[in-house]
Amino acid sequence: MTNFNSKVYFYFSSLISLLLFIPVFINSNIGSDWDSYALIGTYENFIKYNTYIPSRPPGFPTYELLIGLLIYVSEILGTNKEQLLLFFHFLLLISFNYLIYCFFKQIKNSNFLIYLIIIFSPIYLISGLSIIDYFFGNLFGFLAIYLVLYLPNQKYQNFYVIIALSLSISSRLSNLIFLGVIFLYILIKNNDFKLAILVLVSTLIISSTVYFYFYSNLFAFYKISGIYSSWTEMFCIFNLTNTDHDLINRLGRFVLKQVPFLGTLGSMLLLTNFLKLDFDIKNKKFYFFLLFLLFELSFLRLPTEEGHLIPAFIAFMFLISKSKNKALIVILISVMLSNFYDLKFYEVDKIDSASTINLSLNIKEGFLIEDYNLRNTIALEKLFHYKNSQVTLYDAWSSGCPNI
């Protein structure tokens, strides 16, 4: 497939992304995940108390800062803050589409149907059209991977890699996985110990400086309030939450939350055709395999929102990017349809915080439509939720780390 023909796939994906973005933009509702509202609460607390209170542990400072700056700009200009935030995310979505397209251009004999499977995945689209940190962190994480794997020895390449990794990690701590994989690639594949150490140390220094600046602000609040007196007490911020699942519950969540990426039928087809796919982990693909494995293990540790799995999903699709399996056409159709209608084999009592599950086979509204309806329902009282997120966050953090 020529590069000229492959451009059609990017243009087509961008057009569909735009069409899906328009109703979200018009309604100007920032997302169905309460974490989206918590980000607004972080900004409101900083304005009100001049104190950094993370939207959730352990904090996502660079992304939270960007959201705060955009809200501040919208207030100065008198524009709709939700629409400005959503437009910013749409730009991230198109940028990520293009970056993934560039990966497929670099991988010889790529099947661009797999590119479309990524771009039209419900979780990929939902995350791109919601105010949440997944896209921002993954965009810069994969940009660093792309620069190292496919643009070596370019002018200022090492500088751009370090900056991209720093932006990714300082917006989501688990993105340290990108740094670890790049470190191994430079050390093993390029056999360049000095460069590997330079990238590792420089990225850690920049990322740590960002976290330290924001944590210092929070620690100053705790110290004045007499809650903490030593910096060592701040390590509680790294404690995990929602980890009280038993093994069966944890594994169940881990498996079921993989399904929405491809829809029920698409997931089944991919599994049944798994051995037929071109699953080559040699050379550069080995590092995609590491990304896939490490992000999957990270999710197993805390199987909550599906968006955590976006880097694992993309890395896996890069692994099978040369596959010519005919089932991929059916999988692509299934993925696209699952945004609107999906054959679901289970029901949960509550979306995103399920406590019970019932097995039943039904055709129901797809994941994108489900998210669209839920975000609109939540937004019926958006002003209350903005205020409530600010108050709830302050109350949760005002006596120390809320996750201990």
- Domain assignment present for 403: no
d(CA 167, CA 160): 11
Q: Helix (H, G, I), strand (E, B), or coil: what is residue 30?
A: coil
d(CA 302, CA 284): 28
pTM for this model (two decimals)? 0.92
d(CA 191, CA 203): 19
- Domain assignment present for 173: yes
Q: Are 130 and 31 in contact (CB under 8 A)?
A: yes
Question: Distance from CA of residue 360 to its chain's centroid?
Answer: 30
Tens-level pLDDT at each residue, the chain (404 residues): 445 578 999 999 999 999 999 999 999 999 999 999 999 999 999 999 999 999 999 999 999 999 999 999 999 999 999 999 999 999 999 999 999 999 999 998 899 999 999 999 999 999 999 999 999 999 999 999 999 999 887 778 899 999 999 999 999 999 999 999 999 999 998 888 999 999 999 999 999 999 999 999 999 999 999 999 999 989 989 876 665 666 777 787 888 888 888 877 677 777 766 666 655 666 888 999 999 999 999 988 888 888 999 999 999 999 888 888 788 898 899 899 989 988 776 666 555 555 556 666 677 888 999 999 999 999 999 999 999 999 999 999 999 988 76
d(CA 286, CA 394): 44
- Domain assignment present for 318: yes
Q: Domain total for the chain?
A: 1
Alpha helices in 185-237 (DSSP H): 193-224
- Domain assignment present for 28: yes
| Long-range CB contacts (within 8 A, 24+) of 93-98 | 93/17, 93/21, 93/125, 93/128, 93/129, 93/135, 94/14, 94/17, 95/139, 96/128, 96/135, 96/138, 96/139, 96/142, 97/10, 97/13, 97/14, 97/17, 98/10
> In this structure, what token pair is assigned to residue 211?
């976290």
Helix (H) or strand (E) holding 400: none
- Domain assignment present for 98: yes
- Domain assignment present for 404: no
- Domain assignment present for 100: yes
Domain hosting 249: range is 3-397
Helices (H) and strands (E) in the chain, counts: 17, 2
